[in-house]
Amino acid sequence: MASKSEKKYRQIKRAHIGVSIFEFCLFMIASTIMLVCAVQQTTLYVMDTKLSSEYERISALARLYDKARDADDAAIYGLLDDEDCDYIVTDKAGRVVRQKGSNTCGSESGRVLLTAEGKWITAYRDTERDYIFPSKNERIGLDIIRFREWLSSEEDEEEKELDLDSPRERFINLPIWLSVDVAGGEEHFIGKAVFSANRRDVFMITSFIVGIIALIIIILITMLVSAIRSVLRQRRMISLYFSDIVTGGHNWTWFLVMGERFLRKRRNAKYSFAVVSYVMVNYRNYCLCHSLAEGEKLLCNIYNRICASIDGKEMCAHATSADFALLLKYESEQELKERLQRLTEELSVISEDHIFSFQAGVSLLNRDKGRDGSPAGYRETDLDTEYNNAASARMTLADSEDSGIAFFDEALKKEQEWLDTVQERQRRALDNEEFMVYYQPKYDPKTDTLKGAEALIRWNSPEFGLVPPGRFIPIFEKNGFITKIDHYMIRHVAADQKRWLDKGYKCVPVSVNVSRAHFIESNLAEQIRDMVDEAGAPHELIEIELTESAFFDDKKAIIDTINKLKDYGFSVSMDDFGSGYSSLNSLKDMPLDVLKLDAEFFRGGSGDGRGEIVVSEAIRLGKLLNMQIVAEGVEAREQVDFLAGQDCDMIQGYYYAKPMPGNEYMERLKNC
């Protein structure tokens, strides 16, 4: 099925020129018919006029014959015979009763309508020169082909050019015999009529026909010029449709339309092709530091350099911003990778003052399968989809600013399919409460007593089973659905706390993660307050947890939200402290209640005691700022003993408990 770009291209290609060509062809056909009809009607009119005059002459002779017959007057017969006209008189049986001149009257006759006379007459062919005859449509006909042969022949020149010096200057004389009833209808006077034309007649007829032909030619030339202009306009439109305004070369639409046409050609079926999404890293920063005009000039140079590196069976187009779409031949995956690396090395120093980075995503095209399962070209290849695959592979490099190459494979395809699946089902899963709240207890390392817990989310999907948070939380964070999850978790934790309190359990504070995207909302504190109040849970049993990375957003908005939460009776903690580039300013400026040390502090170690020193000082610093300290990811007894010695308030880790469903956590509350 043709893509939208292909359909649009076909519409442009058909526009204007199709109408012009159709009109041109239609007019040519109509003009030919008009010309033939005009010539025919003109010829018939001239012949009808001429023969009407001849009929009047023969009718006059017939009347003279009637007088001579009635009077039996030889003198009248003499006058009749003196006329320059051959004739015969026949009776009803067809026998000749009188004759003058040669009898070349044929036996074939027909009825003819003389328009000028307004009457029907009987006409006979001439047996010697039968170029004109009574036709089947009851008009005088002319055998054009034989007549042209006669005119072009060298015979009978004298007959063709009779009486050249006479006033009439006749040079065409074609005979036909016309019949007039005489003797009260008992006999027929058949005279030899001559269709004659002089130079003036021929000139007028020729001038008329030439005028019509000239008019038709002028109109045809005008239409032809219009059609040519339409072709040129169409080519300009296609050129503009396929042109990139930045580089002056080919654009994304050209790549899609011409690329798929190129791949469908049989001669290209023997080659292996790959689609490449090739992107300049930090292009916008370059434009910001210099100018948009300089950035576009750089893109133009990059485009020209890429085009110079490919051959006639490969394609390059400027897709969007700093993205270039390439269709490349390759022998092997390694050879293609090395080629792209060489291109990147060349382009990285395209400017003397800068070193640029480029990232490439590659999708290797699969050939179609023939009926016997053998490769059969690329007729079913969708370049748009393949480029999207290449771009998806390139996006795996997006977190880095270094040059790199990534190939699209089945694993990446499955990852993209999973991303689509999650986004398609996320709303339904929320409405059906497929998300479950798990609790991981926090214990006092000095007394081994339960002091708190963290609420963690799990997805119990009817289709996929229990899905770990690492499979869907990052997707929700990118598409913004994480704010819905935040609300979901706060409501459920508050409802659980209220339910357990009603059962008489000694509840401990439970921390709930709130995303950084959610935390900068000006009314977040009010939202949390209202949700907890709706469930009826005490505020002091809900701890709001945010990651250290959130502090690099709008600090003032975050501080305002934290202060509001504390005013409403909630405690606020910083999660994953030390997981990134920790800032002491975060601790200085943020009025936090709890500091959670990242699990990485307790994994491995240099063996020289440096890790213990950092942990000890972090705990001491938190204590000096009146914060409780929670250590995450603790799995060994020696870690517990060390943290207890450093006056760590709580430990959260597998040493004490893994995350567990709400009913299992409730059993632990019973034993408190």
C-beta of residue 508 within 8 angstroms of C-beta of residue 544: no
What does the pLDDT look like over 303-315, one tens digit per residue? 999 999 998 889 9
pLDDT of residue 373: 59
What does the pLDDT look like over 468-501, one tens digit per residue? 999 999 999 888 899 999 999 999 999 999 999 9
What is the CATH number assigned to the segment(s) 421-665?
3.20.20.450
Cα distance between residue 253 and residue 12, in whole Å? 13
- Between the CA of residue 640 and those of 303, 446, 604, 616, 631, what are the distances in Å? 60, 9, 15, 13, 9
Cα distance between residue 182 and residue 353, in whole Å? 116
Cα distance between residue 261 and residue 142, in whole Å? 57
Residues in the chain: 672
**Residue 324: CB atoms within 10 Å:** 25
**pLDDT at residue 378 is higher than 80:** yes
pLDDT of residue 161: 43
**Residue 476: CB atoms within 10 Å:** 21
Cα distance between residue 146 and residue 136, in whole Å? 18
For the chain, what is the total number of helices (H) and then of strands (E)?
Answer: 21, 23
Average confidence score pLDDT of the chain: 84
**pLDDT at residue 156 is higher than 60:** no
In which band, very low, low, confident or very high, does the pLDDT at 170 lie, cut at 50, 70 and 90? very low
What does the pLDDT look like over 333-368, one tens digit per residue? 999 999 999 999 999 999 888 899 999 999 999 887
Cα distance between residue 171 and residue 407, in whole Å? 90
Cα distance between residue 385 and residue 397, in whole Å? 19
- The structural domains of the chain, with segments of one domain joined by +, span 18-210, 252-408, 421-665
- Collapsing DSSP states into helix, strand and coil, what is residue 180? strand
**Residue 330: CB atoms within 10 Å:** 20
Please list the residues that pair with 192 across neighbouring strands. 177
pLDDT of residue 163: 41
198: CB partners within 8 A, 6+ apart: 168, 169, 170, 171
> H or E stretch including 124?
strand 119-126
**Residue 333: CB atoms within 10 Å:** 13
C-beta of residue 85 within 8 angstroms of C-beta of residue 58: yes
- Terminal Cα-to-Cα distance of the chain (whole angstroms): 68
The tokens for 27 are 């007019």
The single residue listed with the structure tokens 């993209």 is 416
Please list the residues that pair with 126 across neighbouring strands. 105
What percentage of the chain carries pLDDT values higher than 90? 42
What does the pLDDT look like over 68-86, one tens digit per residue? 888 877 888 888 888 888 9
- Range name among 67-81, 95-109, 339-353, 382-396 with the lowest pLDDT average: 67-81
What does the pLDDT look like over 14-30, one tens digit per residue? 555 556 667 667 777 87
Pick the more confident residue, 138 or 189. Answer: 189
**pLDDT at residue 549 is higher than 80:** no
pLDDT of residue 579: 63
**pLDDT at residue 11 is higher than 70:** no
**Residue 407: CB atoms within 10 Å:** 18
pLDDT of residue 406: 94
Domain 252-408 belongs to what topology?
Alpha-Beta Plaits (3.30.70)
